[in-house]
Amino acid sequence: MDTRTTVMIKNIPNKMSDRDLLEFIGRVTPRRIDFLYLRMDFQNGCNVGYAFVNFITVQDLLLFAKAKLGVKWNMYSSEKVLQMSYANYQGKEALVEKFKNSCIMDEREEWR
């Protein structure tokens, strides 16, 4: 059985904030993620189209994937379709370690 719980969510509408993404995921799997990192372009204040998300269990990930994978976002007038792939780093601890020294820590607090 595949035990991976961390994915890269792709094709995210650029105007979406991390709070919007958290709410979007929460509509399918409420409070079932323990890590979310939405990469931002600090020059224009928009995201760059992908995020790393760790679901608490494999079942949570599968539930979200079944509901949203390959489906249009239907937000921000975007025609983008949600895509996902497994992340190279798996689990909350690995993600925290990976991003703890990221330049994000030097940016505005709401982007950390």
Dist CA 94 CA 82 (whole Å): 24
Task: Judge whether residue 54 has pLDDT over 50.
Answer: yes
Place of tokens 């509509």: 27
Tokens 């760059």 belong to: 48
Q: Quick one: tokens of 101?
A: 């020294």
Domain formed by 6-111, architecture:
2-Layer Sandwich (3.30)
Mean pLDDT of the chain: 90
Better pLDDT: 103 or 109? 103
Closest CA relative to residue 54, chosen from 26, 24, 92:
92
Least confident of 34-43, 61-70, 93-102: 93-102
